[in-house]
Structure 1
Amino acid sequence: MRSTGMRARSVPHDSRPVHARPRETEYRPRHPLDLARVVLPQRHGAGDPTMAAANGVIWRASRTPDGPATLALRAGAGGHVRAAAWGPGAEWALDQLPALCGADDDPTGFDAGAHPLVAEAHRRHPDLRIGRTDLVFDALVSAIIEQKVTGMQAFGAWRRIVAWYGERAPGPTPKPMFAPPTIEGWRRVPSWAWHRAGLEPPQSRTIVEAARRGDAIVRAAASAPDADGRERIFTSLRGVGVWTSAETRIRAFGDPDAVSVGDYHLAHHVGFVLTGSRVDDDGMLELLAPWAGQRQRVIRLLYASGIQEPRRGPRMHPEDHRDR
């Protein structure tokens, strides 16, 4: 019997969950910290069911190794971060909080002076840090979903699949929020659900195939000695190329040097900010070469500068070559 009127969910979602008392802590970074600038880049669009910002609080739902967890983060006096966490993974999430806030990001040796605009952005934003989630498979899946499509399409597909097949986030969240599926849950998303969510077959097949090796991928990436080792692990997967690898490394490991080569917008943006003209990927890599080892940091600073190329016309569906 057809069930086209039913919502595509694999687990029951309690609409009125009971909230246990949270675990709480205060993180005191040893460096200036802009909490929103370091944490919100992990968000997948304004409607992301795993993240929200409301009344000065950043909410984040995640699937930790110990189970679902919800973090509520508020910037306090002196750059301190007050945090509360709910759910089976609450302790893990609080232990991981410093890394999420960029504690592992070491800008030692970064020379911003190779370009005056980078130097000025660095001077204005000494609190810019690159955080990491240490949640490898979720980062990989989100990057795969974002291959070859517009941000609107990717964010919509992520939102639907996580809400349909994830787990209701614990805690008094400001809106219904969901932790992503388990690795096995990603593997079991049916083909019709991917289609209904708006994802193309190549991406859904890549996610399902990766999930079959998910635990091994996570272990191998976590134990890899460096970014090159992680790159080899991720790009060994069918359907995963250098763009997806870079995006995964940025989110999961806070890679300060990762560059998302093949992105539809990035090379144009880097070229325009640094030279006043668009460049291609090769041109972008040439421009970023003076900051080898810190290229992602420079990219973050270029966006923080606020300089944007003027719009040339109505938005169009991009012909993207990521991971082809």
Structure 2
Amino acid sequence: MSFAEFGGPEVLRLVDAEEPHAGPGQVRVAVRAAGVNPVDWRIREGQMQKVRPIELPAGVGLDAAGVVDEVGADVEGVAVGDRVFGEGSSTYAEFAVLSAWAEMPEGLTFEEAAGYPSVVETALRVIREVGVRPGQTLLVSGASGGVGSAVLQIARDRGITVIGTAGAANQDYLRSLGAVATTYGEGWVERVRRLGRVDAALDLAGSGVIRELVELTGDPRKVVSIADLRAPELGARFSGVAGSMPEALAEAARLIARGRLHIPVERSYPLADAAAAHIDSQAGHTRGRRVIII
């Protein structure tokens, strides 16, 4: 899957491309599934050019799960035939090169594994950046998507109480992940206040709530957004620089193996329907993850 100009989902094209090859420190995988992340369509629209510039035409996708079929120089601990999940480039494809990977945890399907890399890295990063500690309460705005699902479970594992906002249809889902759930919409700030003190807050949906999150925490330094580029205008932080993906993948594997982390796949799409996956991702209201099946 490729695009030759920035724009809406209609710019995506299924094309025949030269097979990529693993360079030093990389592996190539025969992709079985690719994760769909909001950053994918933000890159496609050109929103990320100042942060993550690309040259056109460009491929699409960062996350994948598949079978290693080529190992680059200076790579140890992995062999052709291994089942891995990780991060690379142009992963909406039959073959993709990964720069970070880990062995797939036992019992995980390719479809499920493809949904973890970026969301777990993001969840670990924003929990660290917002500075919330065990025993404190974290408010998560837009908590039912992939990153929210990871944040809720990682926070619970660390002894952090989470209040999560989502649509009415996702209240039971949030509770199943250990969160105190409430709906967004009119009166949501008062509903959160009635649930108790908020020590820190995350904006995962970019729905224009930064001012209210600052009000609820009492400190803009305790508010971090991954979706609202204007957050710094109100003293909050925008988190857009990825941390260590190998560490995130290792932590994901540990949590999955312990039964402490599970991110469901809400919907999967064939590669030819990548545009539909982007449209659905942009619409929000996701419960868990969307993935492309190769």
Q: Shared fold (TM-score greater than 0.5)?
A: no
Higher strand residue share: 2
Specify the structure having the higher radius of gyration (Cα): 1
Report the TM-score when normalising by structure 2. Answer: 0.29
Report the TM-score when normalising by structure 1. Answer: 0.27
Higher helix residue share: 1
